[in-house]
Structure 1
């Protein structure tokens, strides 16, 4: 078939799909230069004139449809004895492929796909076209998630009659999605498409079909007579609003289904907004058993006609029967009626004789305890069905039951227990540095319960008050959603007092201030009678009540003429030179010299890298002396004293990170 060209225009490339009635190829429209899909009927259908005629009519009708969720029909033609349809090419999987690969789909995805199918079918119904073969095989998905409904027209041509041997190959793939009226060969309308879409939704939600069997006939009979397992009995996480749409769409009586696709679409659009709604209950008149009327075939019709002929003969013979024969027949009929009534009464009494018993509530009990409780209440182990699921209850605990207890039920009623496999596991977020309220909101958004969040306070000089220091469990660990999470939150006093550090060395004063949640600011050497390199006074003063992290400036006694700042392990007064030596202290001022003060300030922006500072002085002695050599992390000031003879010139050089940054010239 490859490399074949149809109508001198469509070049066949490769087969991409097919079924019992047709094969689909990817082809190139050489006239327009676009990729298309070509569906070619199998040879056994080409000789059926009635089929070909209906095929053409339906294909022409489908070509009138133009909707973004319907595969466009481009052309219909015939090449030799082969009939074909040219359609839009969709480079994506079928919905059936998606269900096979993923199983049950997420509820949000089911609603989105179903809504797009609804819009496509609503457009078709407006044009008086019924699809009649809605199934996942006929739903294509583009790579961007757009739904494309295909096979309009052909479905009607093939399923115009009921299940027959002649069409067994085509029916086999569709019977699982038939409506009851299609299964018995009745009249089909828009509600048949609604039923089929309900089957598709059921399969997307559960990964299973509502009815299955060994043959197409057995499946069709189940559509007519049997009830399906409701979706929420398979997956309790399905919202009731979504299940209600499926239950209404799959009503056996067309009158109980949605009146049109627009009504079904409206419920789909609202389902996720209001998921918790009462369960849909079929109207009483729609719950009566459907009577399956078989389709009469030609042979059956002939035999029926012959039977009618025989019956006419029998009627003539009845006229010859004597009165006692007629009386005997009446008596026999009465006997049959009486016996039938007695049998029905006996069966009814047997049904009514089943006693009602009290069904207790076993929610919260362990699996074994719940079974024992139900058996004590009169239920057999064979009546107790167990299903598992995640919940906030601990593993092995019954978190739900059906029917709910306590209540009265028939002693033969099946009881379903839903046993917890434990709470779902969640990843612990990193909450370090966020406020307590933000941490709680983050945990609840992640799925943790507010009742399982514990807050403990710890004193911390590094973390601002009210922020999280650490958590237990630690960030990144996998924990159950019902696990207890402990937040360790920094707690600093609202105020603190400047401690008495007067008389302490700089290092001791620094430790005392840090212990009081205070920071050391500017350190200024001053002349004092106190011991050298001890604190003379503080600013703010000792005993002042201040806020935590307040900056405290220190005055340090300098009784040797040294003008450098004392050692500061934090980098704001470290006078140790790179070689390990200390800056040179000036000797006694020369006789007749005059003291001149020079104030040097080096600014450092918050968060900037540390700055290496070196200050050299050239005074009356004419020698360069290094008086400051330290690394600072904040803005720092020094006051240097230069002794100059009258008429002489002195100089102060400031080096930052080894580069000359500033010079001060002083005249004596």
Structure 2
């Protein structure tokens, strides 16, 4: 299969797909990447006219029901996740001899490219890239899904900067009855990111994803993987026997609490490791905040994060007669086991060299056998040698009469062997009774009656009532050595957190409170409020005290202060209407009056300030027209001299006209029009008759 021409099984070679129309719908374009299970091409969904990524299982695996089932589980597991940081799965099917998966196409690069081109990264940049990954894993863990192959190659960064976790191809929905990850006893993952318990116990739960995320953070901060070796087995040995070194040893200057965060995520003792990605995300938020605040050190945060001293080797790297395979840059390595073991090779020979010429991955997956509690390897290659009775040689003549004793001894030996085998294989093992669905007390009592001890742990569940057993390991019908413990997972009921009360505080403190409550900060809602100053939090949506599942978004409502009043251009409008309108809007309206020859009485002559916005309580000044100014023709005009009358009338702002047609030259005023006592507008003409 592939460019190297390795022989494949199955009817279709997935590497020759370009240009094909798969299932009558997906027009396959150029190849994007190739991995151990599948090849990924860019494709066009001709039905919806959109670009997608189509992942097609290698033809050499197409007739293996186990791999097909795992591939189908990928679609079902990933399709359950709807999260902004998870690559969406659109479709899955089998057609024309192909098993395929259709996913969201995200143009851009991978986190491996960032490590290669930019690492070591500043801690704020590293956490900014890791936090979306943890958010995606947290959503998966809440849905009961463990990714099992967290590494930089599976983190995509779009051209728009969006960070998304891809390739849940190795993911498996965690059963309520088991947390074993392997199929047919094979652990699947990438050796540089495998948690110690995967190698020693063959168990995988959310802790394993947390460990891998911690390794990714170490790599972002330092540019190198923490455990290295010439072979995958050497790397695996380091995971089990040595702690992950502090990033500051390779990148001096990192704050101690950043080292503590990596140490907590990568601690070999599962009991000290964060239970899932959601817990690690909250730790990462605290570290990010300390970095944003410019804290050089935070002893309290370091004390909270740093795990206790490691207890030493978690276990030994498993060895058995089963398969141990890994793929390296130089091809496939086989560390014993029968041909066709799960891993790189199939029954017909080894798989293709890794990575292929066009692969976009940094290192291949490694398949290690699940550890065996009791493994005995018989070496049949050594022929029988001399016994303690003497050197080997021709048999001595048999002594007569020993035959019956030999038979009796043989029978006795068989009886003892059978009894020992019964004890070793059956009698010393205790069967596990069925307790799934019982209350915690009832289940503990049932196990005690069977001679077993209960190891009780609690976890949240949306479906199982609180106090009811929702997981048993080993499951009913399984066997436990002696009175060994049986792990019971008891439901705590739905995981819910109350929306915190944040009214009256700052927006930053409100965001911190929401994150501390295991909730996500939603959109910022702005609202005017006459009584609360701008920037102060008015509340949340949903309201404080509402119980929500973890990760639900909470919108924070922030005051914009009093709502401004839009003031129009009021010149020439009715002053009384303007005063009433803006007084009702909360403004202080100051009115003054003046005469105006141009503006009708009662209308606005001018305003201050002009058109625009005013806040409630501010003052709007209006000058209102009294109309033209009027004067009264004074008494005493008639009988006065012409000059005296003219001066008096002109002082009142009137224009004087003399009528002297019938004058005899005495210079006295004998009449005035309008008459004395009448009101006229300033500037009007007044006629005086001269005698």
Is the shorter-chain TM-score for this pair beyond 0.5, marking a shared fold? no
TM range (shorter): 0.3 to 0.5
TM-score in terms of structure 1 length: 0.43
Q: Which one has the bigger helix percentage?
A: 1
- TM-score normalised by length of structure 2: 0.42
